[in-house]
Amino acid sequence: MDTITVIYLIYIFIGFYFLFLFILIYIQNKKYLYYYPKPKRDYSLSIVIPCYNEGATIEKTVKSVLDSGYKNLKKVIVVDDCSKDNSYKIIKELEKKYPKVLAVQTPKNTGCAAGSKNYGAKFVDTELIGFSDGDSFIEKGSIDKLVGFFNDEKMGSVTCSVLVANRDKFIERVQSVEYKVIKFSRKLLEFIDSIYVTPGPLGVFRKSAFDKIGGFDEKNLTEDIEITWHLQAEGYKVRMALLSRAYTVAPSTIKDWVKQRNRWNIGGLQTSIKYGRDWFRKGMLGKFILPFFVFSWVIGLFGLTVLAYRILKVLIFRLFSTTYSIQTQTSLIRFEDISLMPNILIFFGLVMFFLSMWFTLLSLFHMKDENRKGENFFVLSFYMVFYVMIYPIILISSFYKFLKGHRKW
Amino acid sequence: MVRLLQSRKRVFWEALILTIVVFLFGLLIGIFYESTKSSDMNEYYVNSELSLMDIFALNSLLSINSQNCDVLTSSNLEFADKIYQEAVILEKYESVGKVTEHMEVVHKRYDVLRTFLWINTIKTSEKCEKDYSTVVYLYEYFSKDLTQKAKQNVWSKILSDLKQEQGRNILLIPIASDTNLSSLNALTAKFNITSYPVVIINEKHVISDLSSVQELERYLK
């Protein structure tokens, strides 16, 4: 057996393991996927919305929070981070119009969402504190489905399903599929106590827990990942209500998409390094989340290196063959050269592909009432065949930026 | 929820066991599939071996009756064509061999067979008048050098073109030179070959720099 075959088989084994892990978690817990506890009482809640140049969307965001229907919503604090557009003017008008809205502005631009969120948190005196992004919209009834989890005293934060609001462009549609797969996987991870992020569009925290850990880490580019790990490290639980939904505006251009993914990866790296001391400690954080994060990077990058090596080898071989063929005036390719003989690696690869496809389709179609705009065959095929392959390339660029000290939003 | 948390750790082991079972099952299917293909090739090989034995018997008859020369020449050519076609099939089947080394063994056995054929054509030419050319193509089967692999790929095509053009005028024998066959090593020693691939025509011309079909045709009978 040659080295490449051995590497390929190891990858297949690892791939099968994680796929089966998710499938088994799904099979064992599918009855509980949509479960959310009824709150024992109406917990008081305030929502903080950071805002930087969100003039186009902030009004809709604030209205979606106010219309969410949660009875004990005390305040909606909109924090303008010294925007360059008319955001502050808009939120000031909203403050006049709606008594629950409080418009505040940071003394100077903090340069990150974490800064605005922490600033806004200073104005909160309720039992629960929620956060939503300035370009996200909460579905009616979503907050009610989150708060019941706080009946458990050890509950630190509860997150929701994050879906893509804009689905006109192809890149937005592909991300819509991706977000649904992420959402479904995150819910499954809840059953092994391994939710690794409380995403920005909507997350509710126990205020005492939030204060205890000192709020968001302003140096981290993914403060929503960091705070989730921090809570778990302090022994708090994190849960997700699948039926609670928030819609967010996904990047519409490749440039913005790459920028966003670089930020996610760099933030993830920062968080992994920060909690590096907790390997195999602090419950599932050290036993699964941290190793899973680091391991997925390592196998992603190593896999990409091997793939690049293989492609390079084929290209060099083709280059030499073509050169010789031209020199000797022989045909470049013949019908006999095309071999369609299957082998065990192709067999494993196909099984893996079809299982992954089944999992993706399951992620997309297990909720019958969800908006499926733009999820056509072409978008799904592109996501399953190409999109997942592109991601390790972004990872390389993220590592490079991280090593160069890039820490900007 | 209590039940969920109890099953939390168990699921990691369950996934591992399921993965091992599926993986081993897949490997067994793969080994079975490779063995099936290898059996197909073995069947071809056994038939080819029988043909070669028949040629050897014919060769022995030469000492008694020289009228067998035509039959022997024809048998040599037919046999060479047969194992050349089988080499093409074997090359395709070789891409199947990922887990086991069955195909490598089959390839080596064929190389022995081809070496036998080469020796036999040399012997035949000593006793019978030869109206065809023997073209032996020696290449490196295990080479990792991409330049060499590309070169061998093109040479194979040139030789295949030559065979198509010349038909029964040439007896084409491709043999892997790096399978450590004593008989082949002894046979090629006199040609002072320093690098591969190489083409030996009628045991006289050693060509290590091939540029076209026409160039080869100059050395043919």
Q: Which of B91, B108, B130 is the last residue of a domain?
A: B130
| Stretch 135-174 of chain A: residues touching chain B, C-beta under 8 Å | none
Whether B58 and B107 share a structural domain: yes
Say whether pTM exceeds 0.95. no
**pLDDT value of residue B159:** 86
Whether B104 and B143 share a structural domain: no
Contact A309/B at CB under 8 A: no
Whether B106 and B178 share a structural domain: no
Query: Which residue in this structure is represented by tokens 């000290």?
Result: A405
Query: Which residue in this structure is represented by tokens 């600033």?
Result: A119
Residue B3 is assigned to a structural domain of this protein: no
Whether ipTM exceeds 0.90? no
Instruction: Tell how strand A128-131 and strand A136-138 pair up.
Output: unpaired
Residue B119 is assigned to a structural domain of this protein: yes
HSE, CB side, 13 Å, CA atoms: give it for residue A221. Answer: 21
* pLDDT > 70: percent of chain B: 88
Whether B61 and B163 share a structural domain: no
**pLDDT value of residue B221:** 62
Q: Residue A192: which of B11, B26, B151 has the nearest Cβ? A: B11
Q: Which of B108, B130, B152 is the last residue of a domain?
A: B130
Beta carbons of B210 and A317 less than 8 Å apart: no
What are the pLDDT digits (tens) for A360-405? 889 888 776 667 777 888 898 899 888 888 888 888 888 888 888 7
What are the pLDDT digits (tens) for A315-338? 998 888 888 888 877 776 666 666
Determine the average pLDDT of the residues in B56-67: 67
**pLDDT value of residue A213:** 95
Residue B177 near residue B138 (C-beta atoms within 8 A): yes
Please list the alpha-helical segments (H only) found in A329-376: 344-365
| Stretch 368-407 of chain A: residues touching chain B, C-beta under 8 Å | none
Whether B207 and B113 share a structural domain: no
Whether B19 and B125 share a structural domain: yes
| Structural domain count, chain B | 2
- Which residues on adjacent β-strands are paired with residue A50? A79
CA distance A310 to chain B (A): 12
Residue B18 is assigned to a structural domain of this protein: yes
Residue B6 is assigned to a structural domain of this protein: no
CATH architecture classification, A1-409: Alpha-Beta Complex (3.90)
Per DSSP, the three-state class of A220 is coil
Range of the domain at B141: 132-221
Residue B5 is assigned to a structural domain of this protein: no
**pLDDT value of residue A209:** 96
Query: Which residue in this structure is represented by tokens 């008048």?
Result: B129
Residue B157 is assigned to a structural domain of this protein: yes
Q: Residue A17: which of B16, B31, B151 has the nearest Cβ? A: B16
Instruction: Check whether B5 has a pLDDT greater than 60.
Output: no
Which positions in chain B touch A313 (Cβ < 8 Å)? 146
| Stretch 6-35 of chain B: residues touching chain A, C-beta under 8 Å | 7-8, 11-12, 14-16, 18-19, 22-23, 26-27, 29-31, 33-34
Residue B197 is assigned to a structural domain of this protein: yes
Nearest-CA residue of chain A relative to B8? A192
Whether B21 and B107 share a structural domain: yes
Query: What is the residue extent of each domain of chain A?
Result: 1-409
Residues of chain A with pLDDT under 70: 332-341, 368-370, 407, 409
CA neighbor of A228 nearest in space, from A249, A210, A245: A210
- Which is more confident, A275 or B57? A275
Whether B191 and B211 share a structural domain: yes
Q: How many CB atoms lie within 10 A of CB A388?
A: 14
Which positions in chain A touch B7 (Cβ < 8 Å)? 28, 191
Which positions in chain A touch B13 (Cβ < 8 Å)? none
Nearest-CA residue of chain A relative to B17? A17
Residues in CB range of A392: below 8 A, 6 or more apart: A300, A301, A303, A304
Beta carbons of A328 and B154 less than 8 Å apart: yes
The Cα–Cα gap between B157 and B134 comes to: 17
Whether B105 and B171 share a structural domain: no
Which positions in chain B touch A321 (Cβ < 8 Å)? 150, 153-154
Which positions in chain A touch B163 (Cβ < 8 Å)? none
**pLDDT value of residue B2:** 44
The Cα–Cα gap between B200 and B114 comes to: 14
Whether B40 and B119 share a structural domain: yes
Cα–Cα separations (whole angstroms), residue A106 to A111, A196, A320, A372: 11, 29, 62, 39
Contact B85/A at CB under 8 A: no
Beta carbons of A20 and B15 less than 8 Å apart: yes
Q: Which of B130, B151, B175 is the last residue of a domain?
A: B130
What are the pLDDT digits (tens) for B146-178? 888 888 888 888 888 888 888 888 888 889 888
Whether B159 and B119 share a structural domain: no
CATH number at residue B213: 3.40.30.10
